[in-house]
Structures are given as C-alpha cells and as structure tokens.
Chains A and B, each alone.
Chain A
C-alpha cells in the first residue's frame, strides 16, 4: 500500500471476448492501484487473464472485446478515452514490454530507428538529440558498443539483448508506469536475473511504477513489493508480497506455493491442486476455484466470494480463507 496518491487506479475492469456467439469473460472485476515507484506483481497460471488485464489498461483489447470498468491514470479515466487522445499517454506516460523478444521488434527496421521512433512521436527532440538519447538508452540497459549497434537489425541481437532493446524502447520517453508482460519468461535464468535487476534499478532511479506479469512465484518474491494473484480472470488475493507468499489466505495461492518443490524432502510427493483451471466458456456458477478446492462448502458452489479486505492493504476473495497455511517460504 503506498501512502501517496496512486498513479494508476483500476476499478472493476472487465474484458469479455466473444467467439462464435459465446461470451468469454477473460477479465472479471479486477481492481488494483499502483503507486509511484511501486512494483506490483500480477501472478497466475496461463489463461488466468494477467496479460489481458495489462492490455486492457492500455486500451489494446478494445478492438477485440468488450471492456468495462474504469482505469484512472493520474485521475483521468483512460478506459473510455478516444484512441487519438490515448495515443499521447501510451508510450509516453505508460509503456509496455511484451513477452516475446523475438517477435515484438520489427525485423525490417534497424534498432536505432525503432528506438528513435518513440522519441519522435512523444518528444520535440531534434534528430541529433534523438540519436544521442537512443545511444544513451542502449548504454543504460547494458548493451555494449551502443553507438555502433544502432544501425543493426533485431536478428543481429540475441534474445536477452533484444529484451534489453525492448526495455530501452519502452523507457526512452521516460514513462511513469511500465507494464511488463512476462519480460523474462523466454530467457534463461542467468539472463533473467540481469533483466530483472535492470528493471528494478531503473524503477528506483526514475521513480517509475511497474506492473510485472509473471507465472513465476520466485520472480515475484524477488522483485515485487505487492502481489495480486489471479485465477480464472479474477484477483483472488492481494497484498504485501511477504504476507501473500508467507501466509497465503486463498486456497489457490496456498496450492500454488506448496506445489513448488522447495524445502521439501527430495523425491517426495509434491502437493498438488487437483484438476485443471476451468475453461472460460464454462465458468462455474459460484467461486471459480470451488471445484478444485478442498475447503469448499455448499455456499461456494452457489455464490461468488467478493474480494474483501481482511487487513490493511490485504484482501482475499474466499468465504473460508485458510488460517494457518504453511507457505513454502515460511
């Protein structure tokens, strides 16, 4: 919980796609805030709506689906803002890095051109100033011999280097909020550590807020201040990262934490969450996790538990929150 005014306030965000006449609610009633310089982790398994949430914040899902709810950027609602106005915020105030460093750069344009493009759109720098800034950014993200690499094409960079280029592009216009969609999933652990260190130090230096989407609980533990756990399109638990990981209250978070093989006897049976996540076409009527939950009651199958605050800055969407769960990092 940040004491100052949050820079981003997301309230009751819902994104629904339609396929063949069937509604697919990908994001349902998601609410959270991000403060200045705060790193928020959005955790969940594939299909839980993490990425769609990020895209909906920037208005990237509205062409494909129905987005409702409010997204307030510095007090201004950007969820319903016309595309033309939104374009001034996108890339300048809020930047995004995507998961695939291999496919999110244009292979036909030089890295330098892709970097200066952002500056051209959002700043009034001259050509030479833009070039200098581009070199400075590449240098900043740890690309050696930055000046000579401006004229190279993405295929001449390795995966880790491309992700650095993506970060440089995202940060070129000094955004106040960075949306990072699994920025390290495609990379090796040693490179992942370098990239996460880089994002953290830049967030610190530029007082930039970050929303980090990931499925890796270790990444969340190491980088985020707060964490929100998503399941089937909803936030099921939210709070300070230490509290969420050490004393998870939602049975799904407990299951996630315990299924990671850490601090268990080698080769012992791991804790598992029975079953698989529900398909969006056939979400259960009550709590989406109820069919897999061991502590479910009759009520869970009928009504949907709302996300309620249980302590300062801590909320859980469960009728019977787990009291004394042994988090894996306890």
Chain B
C-alpha cells in the first residue's frame, strides 16, 4: 500500500461576491460563490492523479488551495502528516519548495522582463538551493533537463514559443527540487504536436525524479494517458475517483459517463454512445440542493433532490458519489 503524501479532507471554499445595490435595498448579504463543497482526496507518492471536469467546476481552485494560494474555509490539507494551514505553518517556507505549481497560460506566467536565467536563478536563490557560485551551473543543468538550448538562459520569454515557455515553467518548478508538482492545464494552450513533446518530458521527469503529480486538465484523452488515478469533479464536489483505466473504460457515475461520451472519438465511424447531457453546468452561485447533478441526470429520482450522495466504494470500481451507482453502472 502506498503512503499518501497529501491528504485533503473535506475542504470547502467560498468566494464572497460584493454586495450590489439591490442586495443593500433588500438588506441581504452579497452572493456567495461556492467553489469547493467538501473535496477529499489523497495523493499517493509517485503517482499522477488526474482531475477532470467542466470549466467552473473548481478544478483550478482545488489546485490553488493545495499550493496555499487560497485558504479553504473548512477542512484541512495534510502534507507529510502536517497541517499546511495550521497556525504558524505558513511561516514554514519549505512547503512552498516541496510543492510546486505550474500554470496554464505560458504567455502570462513568466515575467516578460526577466531572462530565463534570471527566472531560474531567482527560484534557486530564494530557497537557498545552491551557494551563489554554483547557481550558473545549476541553471545550465536545468535547461538541459527540459531540453532547452544553453543559450536560452540569456533570452527573454517573448523569444520562445508556447511549448518552450512551458518547458521554462517546468524547469522553474523543478529548480527547487520539489516532491509534488501541481500542473494546472499545463498543456491546454499548446498545439497537439507540441503538447505531446511537453507531456513526454513531464512523464520522463516524473520517473527519473520520482515526482508526484496532480494533473488538472479538461482534455480527457490526455488525462487518461498520463494518470494512474483520476478524480471527476462536478460543481466543487468529487463525483467519482478511481483507477484511470477502470474509470475511463467503465465510468460509474452518470456524469462521468456523459463527460466521457462527449469527447469526440478519432474514428469517424465511432459515433460514441448517445448519452448527451441536457442543459449546462448550474452556476456555483446557486448550487442545487441534494445531488448537484440531479438537474441534468437521466437517472435522477426524488431522493436525489433532497439527499447529497456521499462518496462510497463500489466493488470492482472506484469511489462514486451517486445514490443509484449500482443500477447506473450495470446499465452502462
């Protein structure tokens, strides 16, 4: 049994909207966006955990909570047995070094006025990874690691293509020798042929450096390819989590089924199963009561409108949050 390095328990996060004039007149508080509604996840050492879901479901918010960019309202995140939001824990900068994040947009996540060399050496000196004298050689090593030419150190981000910029972002994250990488839509902004290059690099580095990766993405094919386990998230709640191959070949939650069947196949004759979701993601401003998916679900019963389903293990499958998981997965 592998040891979880990161234990996320029931985290909830709300964003307070500002009070509008109408709110003042009606004497009610401003509206609240419920971004995460009790997310629990374990991240095991050396694995890649994929997180998929539609936009606005809370994928990125979760990633940002993990690197302490947001503080959850309730719940806890334990890393290596320690609560990362405990009093005084924030002063401990070593967590920031051990868990690194890489962002989606390669055009805005690098400082346009710093050369690649400066970007990488800043990370090294802030965390005192190397004595001053060795920094230059470490930068060269890092560029080599992500297969960028050595003269890249003197260049500014605008001189690089999107794929190369994401390599710089990977090098920056790896500079401080982290144990966990949070990849938030790392390759979404890249073209297919370049995407494959970056994904290959990430997988290779993971094996070589024994990294644990949380891979947030909306491209299902890609998530299936890189992940050992996958979590499907819907309106700030995990609806299904399990082994990647099992989940993709036999999704148990009606939402996972619909999401997977919506991804267009490359085979023109494989029109996919005709599960088409009706309607759209409800706004997180107004999360439906009961199971958040019941408004779009074909299997919904009256019970689903009242009671929120808990995640529970299903034999031969992963964990599913659905009252009717047994019947649904049988019919699939």
Say whether A190 contacts B277, CB under 8 Å.
Answer: yes
Answer whether residue A158 sits at the interface, using C-beta atoms and an 8 A cutoff: yes
Q: B224 contacts which chain A residues (CB < 8 A)?
A: 261, 266
C-alpha spacing A46/B272, complex, angstroms: 27
Q: Out of B163, B197, B263, which one reaches A218, CB within 8 Å?
A: B263
26 A-B pairs with C-beta separation under 8 A: A46-B191, A188-B54, A189-B54, A189-B259, A190-B262, A191-B54, A193-B264, A216-B264, A218-B264, A218-B266, A222-B268, A222-B272, A223-B264, A241-B268, A242-B268, A245-B266, A256-B193, A259-B196, A260-B221, A261-B199, A267-B228, A269-B203, A271-B196, A273-B196, A329-B265, A329-B267
A194 within 8 A of B: yes
Q: Is B269 in contact with chain A by the CB < 8 A criterion?
A: yes
When distances are taken between beta carbons in the complex, the residues of chain B under 8 Å from A241 are: 268
Q: Which of A161, A190, A329 contacts B258 (CB 8 A)?
A: A190
Note all chain B residues with C-beta closer than 8 A to A272.
Answer: 193, 196-197, 200
Contact residues in B for A28 (Cβ distance below 8 Å): none
**Which residue numbers of A lie inside 8 Å of B, CB to CB?**
45-46, 158, 160-161, 188-194, 196-197, 215-219, 221-223, 241-242, 245, 255-257, 259-262, 264, 266-267, 269-273, 276-277, 328-329
Contacts of A260 in B (CB 8 A): 192, 221, 266
CA distance A267 to B263 in the complex (A): 20
Complex Cα distance, B268 from A221, in Å, reads 4
Give CA–CA (A264, B258) in the complex, Å.
23
- Residue B226 is within 8 A (CB to CB) of chain A in the complex: yes
Of B200, B262, B267, which one neighbours A192 at CB under 8 angstroms? B262
Q: What distance in Å separates the Cβ of A325 from its nearest Cβ neighbour in chain B? A: 14
Interfacial chain A residues near B40, Cβ < 8 Å: none
- Tell whether, in the assembled complex, residue A259 and residue B266 are in contact, meaning their CB atoms are under 8 Å apart: no
Q: How far is the CB of B170 from chain A (nearest CB, A)?
A: 16
| Chain A nearest CB, measured from B114 CB (Å) | 22
B266/A261 in contact, CB under 8 A: no
Contact of A261 among B163, B225, B270, B276 (CB under 8 A): B225
Q: With an 8 A cutoff between CB atoms, is B218 at the interface? A: yes
- Expressed in whole angstroms, the Cα–Cα distance for A130 and B55 within the complex equals 35
Are B222's CB and A261's CB within 8 A? yes
Q: What residues of A have a CB within 8 angstroms of the CB of B222 in the complex?
A: 261
Closest chain A residue to B296 by CB distance?
A: A190
Beyond A190-B276, A260-B192, A270-B225, 5 additional contacts (C-beta under 8 Å) are A190-B262, A262-B221, A269-B203, A271-B196, A329-B265
Known: A194-B276, A261-B224. A221 touches B264 (CB 8 A): yes
Nearest A residue to B193 by beta-carbon distance? A273
Contact between chains at A255 and B193 (CB < 8 Å)? yes
Q: Is B113 among interface residues, defined by CB-CB distance under 8 A?
A: no
Question: Which partner residue on chain A sits nearest B56 by CB separation?
Answer: A188
Tell me if B19 is interfacial: C-beta within 8 Å of chain A. Answer: no
Binary CB contact string for chain B from 246 to 267 against chain A (1 if under 8 A, 0 otherwise): 0000000000001100111111
The digit string for B146-189, where 1 denotes a CB below 8 A from any CB of A, is 00000000000000010110000000000000000000000000
Contact, CB under 8 Å: A256 / B192: yes
The reply to whether B225 and A219 form a contact with Cβ atoms under 8 Å apart is no
Q: Does B281 belong to the interface (CB within 8 Å)?
A: yes
Q: Could you tell me the distance between the alpha carbons of A145 and B55 in the complex, rounded to whole angstroms?
A: 25
A262-B221 Cα distance, complex, nearest whole Å = 7
Q: Take A188-B55, A272-B197, A273-B193 as given contacts and tell me if A222 and B203 are in contact as well, using a CB distance cutoff of 8 Å.
A: no
- Whole-angstrom distance between the alpha carbons of A264 and B266 in the complex? 13
| Cα of A188 to Cα of B56 in the assembled complex, Å | 10
User: Does B245 count as interface, using CB distance less than 8 angstroms?
Assistant: yes
Assembly CA distance A194 to B280 (angstroms) = 10
Which chain B residues border A189 with CB–CB below 8 Å?
54, 218, 220, 259, 262-263
Q: Which residues of B contact A45 (CB under 8 A)?
A: 191-193
Q: Which of chain B's residues have a CB closer than 8 A to the CB of A223?
A: 264
Contacts of A273 in B (CB 8 A): 193, 196
Question: Nearest chain B CB to A261's CB is how many angstroms away?
Answer: 4
Q: B200–A269 contact, CB under 8 A? A: yes
Max chain B Cβ within 10 angstroms of own Cβ: one of A160, A188, A329: A188
Across the interface, which residues of A come within 8 angstroms of B55, CB to CB?
Answer: 188
CA separation between A79 and B318, bound complex, in Å?
A: 58
Q: Which residues from 212 to 231 on chain B have a C-beta closer than 8 Å to any C-beta of chain A?
A: 218, 220-222, 224-226, 228
Query: Which residues does chain A contribute within 8 Å of B82, judged by CB atoms?
Result: none
Q: Which of B193, B224, B258, B267 has the most CB of A within 10 A?
A: B193
Nearest chain A CB to B285's CB is how many angstroms away? 12
- Please, how many angstroms separate the alpha-carbon atoms of A170 and B164 in the complex? 39
Q: B104 at the A/B interface (Cβ < 8 Å)? A: no
Q: Which residue of B lies closest to A241 (CB)?
A: B268
B115 at interface by CB-CB < 8 Å:
no
Asked if residues A197 and B265 are in contact (CB atoms below 8 Å), the reply is no
Alpha-carbon distance between A193 and B260 when the two chains are bound, in angstroms:
11
B100 at the interface (CB under 8 A from A): no
Q: In angstroms, how far is the closest chain B Cβ from the Cβ of A267? A: 6
Q: How far is the CB of A84 from chain B (nearest CB, A)?
A: 39
